[in-house]
Amino acid sequence: MNSDTIIHSRGLAKRFTSKGQDVQAVAGLDLDVARGELLAFLGPNGAGKSTSLRLLTTLLRPSAGTAAVAGCDILADPAGVRSRIGYVGQGTSGSFSQRVRDELLSQGAFYGLGRREAARRTDELIESLELGPIATRTVQQLSGGQKRRLDIALGLVHAPELLFLDEPSTGLDPQSRANLWEHILQLRRSHGTTVFLTTHYLEEADRYAERVMVMDRGQVIADDTADALKAGLAGDAVTIGFADPARAQDARAALSSAVGAEARQEEDDAGRPVLAVTVPDGAGRLPDIVRALDAAGLPPRSAAAVPPTLDDVFLALTGRSLREADLASEDAGDADTPTTHDTSTTHSTPNEKAGRP
């Protein structure tokens, strides 16, 4: 491990018993994160994202494996890890009975800042996270977005070199979410903080994370930039429309041979016949495809190539869409993450804590 590596783990695993069943929450995590990276764990509920974070932040003891975080071993020197990292969990970090400013001052004291230093840092964070108007309110009185901003501020009091964020934007409305991301990105620009987050929002991982680790059933199944993952695994969704089903049927063989992949006959949203096929660089190949169909006397009515999403990547990797995987884990009563999703504007209260047996 060199000095530019801020997280290094080998074979990190966690198993626990839940409702009489042996669950392998994290199955052998090998991780190397360079200083300054912004990376995201993407995966459905119950994939082991939160449990992995809780292992790395010393909240849980691993069943097997080793990890060094910010230069300290998670088992031999948990206190060293804790003093160097910031952690924003899924829940609300501030106590409901405490005032916003008071919680920040207390947090500063917990991290060993003197009174003046804690007060200075508190005021700085109140300013930069726009908590000024609510600084004397109790946490109970805050909206979901305000609570989340306080959570982030609490995680930053000691200006950590590494910040863990567990589902930072779950339960926030789109505007609060965008606002939160602005703060996170600003933080990175100004301090070079390494940011490690979990999310099950595809757009979020796609748009902000420089490196995406796709997690499923306790294992990392892909690890690259979002673009590379999409280009390498999914390909563009090419859709060719036809005037009538018979013509679409006739064109199927021609299209399949033109792209070198089996085309499926489907209907679009308006019920019109289309042929669909997923191919790498579909947009670039679209002119050739149309020409080939024309030459075969089967002119298309429409042609489109839609770039893939990370959901397509997940589908290509696991055979399930993220949404299906989420629903399946909820049916199984799994609660790696709170079950409140984007529709809720208040932050959820996690009754079942992730990875806690």
Partner 1 sequence: MSSIVNDSFNVLVRELRPVRRDPFSLIFSLLQPLVFLGLFTPLLIGQSGAPAAETLQWFVPGILVMIVLFGTGAVGSNLQYEMMTGAHERTLVAPIARSSLLVGRALKEVVPIAVQALVIVAIAFPFGFRAHPLGLAAGLVLLAVFGIGLGSLSYSLALATREHEWLFWGVQQMLIFPLLILSGMLLPLEDGPGWMRAVAAVNPLSHLVTAERALLGGELGAPVVWWGLLAAVAVAAVGLVVGIRSMRRS
Residues near partner 1 (CB under 8 A) are 57-59, 79, 82-83, 85, 87, 89-99, 102-103, 106-107, 109-112, 138, 154, 349-353
Interior CA angle at 322 toward 31 and 45, to 5°?
Answer: 65
Nearer to partner 1, 137 or 320 (CB): 137
- Count CB atoms within 10 A of the CB of residue 317: 15
Q: How far is the CB of 43 from partner 1 (least distance, A)?
A: 21
Q: How far is the CB of 63 from partner 1 (least distance, A)?
A: 17
Nearer to partner 1, 48 or 355 (CB): 355
Distance CA 240, CA 298 (A): 11
Q: How far is the CB of 120 from partner 1 (least distance, A)?
A: 17
Q: Residue type at 257?
A: S
- Bridge partners, residue 138, by sequence: 99
Distance CA 109, CA 118 (A): 7
Q: For the chain, what is the radius of gyration of the CA atoms?
A: 24
Q: How far is the CB of 115 from partner 1 (least distance, A)?
A: 10
Q: How far is the CB of 106 from partner 1 (least distance, A)?
A: 4
Encoded tokens for 318: 């696991």
Distance CA 109, CA 121 (A): 11
Nearer to partner 1, 50 or 239 (CB): 50
Q: How far is the CB of 110 from partner 1 (least distance, A)?
A: 4
Nearer to partner 1, 163 or 248 (CB): 163
Nearer to partner 1, 95 or 186 (CB): 95
Nearer to partner 1, 89 or 282 (CB): 89
Cβ partners under 8 Å of residue 145, min gap 6: 172, 173, 175, 176, 179, 180
Q: Residue type at 215?
A: M
> Which residue is associated with the tokens 């060293």?
80
